Amino acid sequence: MNLILFEPPEATRPLPRADPRARHLLDVLRRREGDTFDAGLVNGPRGKGTLTAIGSEALTLTFAWGDLPPPLPDLTLLIGLPRPQTARDLLRDATTLGVAALHFVATEKSERNYAHSTLWTTGEWRRHVLAGAAQAFDTRLPAVTWDRPLAAALAALPASSVRLALDNYEASTSFGKCNPIGYTASENVPPVVLAFGPERGWGREDRQLLRAHGFALVQLGPRPLRTETAVVAAVALLKAQPGLG
């Protein structure tokens, strides 16, 4: 944890010693009474925490909050609902890279039962988002959904967004050899949406929907990639362009 995150109500009460954050403070950071550490309020400011007392059952903490971190880049990911372990990696890594929204959607070839995984039904997904934000030394969390079909997610996108869908089979443009946005650092970059198919790729009706909603099909090269690899590679390439870092 590069930043230890707390929900706002947690900042005013003792932290149980069984909490992973308490164990991290004591066993990894080796903080003792009077020591400080980097802390943040979820979707709020960053600052310094002080370990004021170590009890047998809980730690007593105080905080001095500073400024809010910068807003998240206006980048939305649409991802065909993957298997739960892949989704866990995506939740963590996409949050670390910095995106405004992660929408996992039902597509023609996605396994519908994945939406009923305990990852989603128990709220476990939020733990992975928090881990990604803590890694990135950020407090801001992306919006996350997993219960909509592709068509509904497309209908809810901002009207003025740049829209790119990764596709190995019908793409005519290489993502890495073009400037898909075409903006310079001095211009206001519009919202950007990147769409990724599920592990088995887009279906014919998916592609029709994407094209009907203004998506250009692009590809990362001839080698098929795992979904989690494609997401990290595409977001990294996109964020290397002016205005989206």
pLDDT at 240: 79
Helix axes 84-97, 125-135, angle to 10 degrees: 30
pLDDT for the residue numbered 108? 92
Helices (H), 5-103: 20-23, 84-97
pLDDT 10s digits, 181-205: 555 554 567 789 999 999 889 999 9
CA–CA gap between residue 115 and residue 166 (Å, rounded): 22
> Which of 94, 70, 74 lies closest to 160, judged by CA?
74
pLDDT at 220: 87
What was the pLDDT predicted at 244?
61
pLDDT given for residue 185 in this prediction: 52
pLDDT of residue 186: 47
Measure CA 149 to chain center: 19
Q: Hey, which residues does 145 pair with through a beta bridge?
A: 103
Q: Which domains does the chain have, with CATH numbers?
A: 4-65 (2.40.240.20), 75-239 (3.40.1280.10)
Chain-centre distance of CA 128, in angstroms? Answer: 9
For the record, the structure tokens of 45 come out as 């400011």
Contacts for 99 with CB less than 8 Å, ≥ 6 apart? 72, 73, 75, 76, 77, 142, 235
Q: CB 110: neighbour CB atoms within 10 A?
A: 24
- Give me the pLDDT at residue 241, please: 73
- Averaged pLDDT in 10-residue chunks for the chain of 245 residues: 94 96 96 97 97 97 95 94 96 97 94 92 97 97 95 91 90 70 59 92 95 92 88 89 63
Mapped onto helix, strand or coil, the DSSP state of residue 237 is: helix
Angle at the Cα of 132 from the Cα atoms of 129 and 136, rounded to 5 degrees: 140
